Amino acid sequence: VDFGFQTIPASEKAQRVHKVFENVASNYDIMNDVMSVGIHRIWKDYFVKKMFPLPPGTKVIDVAGGTGDIAFRMLQSIERQNKHLNINVTDANESRKNSSILISDINQAMLDVGRERAIKMNLQSDMLSWLCADAQQLPLADNSFDLYTIAFGIRNVTEVSKALDEAYRILRPGGRFLCLEFSHVKNPLLKWVYDTYSFQIIPPLGEVVAGDWKSYQYLVESIRKFPTQDRFKDMIEEAGFRSVKYENLTFGVVTIHSGYKI
Ligand code: SAM
C-alpha cells in the first residue's frame, strides 16, 4: 500500500488512517471548506438530493459518516419530506413511518465532533443514532438496511472489496448503495491544474490552517491511489450489486457510484 510518498504494508494503513482522522477531527469541517473552496457542500447537497424522495420508514446507514455532514443533510430532507407528506412521527400510529439514520465511523474522535455538531445545530432527533465500527466488519444483521451511503470514506478503508461485501450483506434485497468519492479527471489540462493544486497547495494549506502537513498529504495521495471510475464500478459489481452506474461531478474530481442489491 502506498502511503504518502512511501510504501507501507496494508496492516499499517489502518493505523495511519486512524491517526490521520484523529489529528484532523477538530479541524475537519473548516478544512473541507478551505480546501474545496466550499464546493464539497455542493457535492454533498447533490449526493443527498439523489436519494430523495425516500419512502417513509426507510432505514439508512451512513458509513464512514465522520462528523455527520451527509446524515445531517438527510435528516433535514426527511423532516422536510415528512412535513410535506403530513406525517407526524410523534403520533404512535404513524411512528412506523419514521425513517432512521445510523451514522457509523471507525473513529470515535470524528463521531464525537459529529455529536457536538448535532447539538449545536439543534439536530438531536430520535431518527439519528451513532456507531463506532469498521466498514469492513459491521456488527449489524444481514438484510437490515434500505440505503447504504458512504461519502469520501471508502478510499480510506484498507480493503475496499471487504467494505463492498459488507454493504451488500447488510442491505436488504432491493436496497441501494450510494457512494460519493474523489475520482479521476481525464482531461489533461484540467488534470494538470487539479494535480498542481492538490500537491502544491493542499499540504501547505493543511500546515497553515491545521498545523498538519502529513495528514493532508495523505489525503491527496489516497485520492490518486483510488481505482478509476470504471474499475470501481467493476468492483461494485463483483460484490454482487446490479444496475451499477456512475456520474462524474466537476469533471471527475468526484464521482457518485450507485447500485442495487437485487
Ligand atoms: N462522510 C464524512 C464526510 O463526507 O464529511 C467523512 C469523510 S472523512 C474524509 C473519512 C472518514 O472515513 C473518517 O471519518 C474516517 O474515520 C473514516 N474511516 C476510515 N477508515 C474507515 C473504516 N475502515 N471504517 C469506517 N470508517 C472509516
The answer to whether the CB of 21 is under 6 A from ligand 1 is yes
User: Which residue's alpha carbon is at the smallest distance from atom 16 of ligand 1?
Assistant: 107
Cβ proximity of 202 and 220 under 8 Å? yes
Least confident piece of the model among 17-21, 39-43, 127-131, 258-262: 17-21
Mean pLDDT of 63-67: 97
Annotated binding-site residue? 67? yes
Rounded Cα distance between 224 and 220, Å, is 7
Rounded Cα distance between 56 and 110, Å, is 29
pLDDT given for residue 6 in this prediction: 44
* Residue 135 pLDDT greater than 60, yes or no: yes
What is the value of ipTM here, to two decimals? 0.99
Mean pLDDT of 97-121: 95
Annotated binding-site residue? 135? yes
Rounded Cα distance between 193 and 234, Å, is 28
Mean pLDDT of 60-87: 94
The answer to whether the CB of 71 is under 6 A from ligand 1 is no
105 CA → ligand 1 middle, Å: 6
Annotated binding-site residue? 29? no
Ligand 1 pocket test target in 34, 103, 106 with most atoms within 8 Å of CB: 106
Mean pLDDT of 55-81: 96
Mean pLDDT of 235-258: 98
Q: Is the dihedral of CA 121, 125, 128, 129 positive or negative?
A: positive
Annotated binding-site residue? 105? yes
- Which atom in ligand 1 lies closest to the alpha carbon of residue 158? 23
pLDDT band, residue 11 (cuts 50/70/90): low
* Residue 4 pLDDT greater than 50, yes or no: no
CA 222 to chain centre: 15
The answer to whether the CB of 106 is under 6 A from ligand 1 is yes
**Coil vs helix vs strand at 233:** helix
The answer to whether the CB of 149 is under 6 A from ligand 1 is no
The answer to whether the CB of 160 is under 6 A from ligand 1 is no
CB count within 10 Å of CB 58 equals: 21
Mean pLDDT estimate for the chain: 92
The answer to whether the CB of 218 is under 6 A from ligand 1 is no
Mean pLDDT of 142-161: 97
Rounded Cα distance between 118 and 137, Å, is 26
104 CA → ligand 1 middle, Å: 9
Q: pTM (2 decimals)?
A: 0.93
Mean pLDDT of 71-95: 87
User: Which residue's alpha carbon is at the smallest distance from atom 4 of ligand 1?
Assistant: 151
* Residue 5 pLDDT greater than 50, yes or no: no
Residue with cell 493542499: 202
How is 168-196 classified by DSSP, letter by letter? HHHEEEEEEEEEEEE----SHHHHHHHHH
Q: Which of 257, 39, 58 is nearest to 171 (CA)?
A: 58
Outline where DSSP puts E strands in the chain. 2-3, 6-7, 59-63, 100-105, 128-132, 145-151, 171-182, 242-249, 254-260
| Structural domains of the chain in order of their starting residue, each with its CATH number | 14-260 (3.40.50.150)
User: How is the chain split among helix, strand and coil, in percent rounded to 5?
Assistant: 50, 20, 30
* Residue 194 pLDDT greater than 60, yes or no: yes
Q: Is 236 exposed, middle or buried (0-12, 13-18, 19+ CB in 10 A)?
A: buried
Rounded Cα distance between 163 and 137, Å, is 7
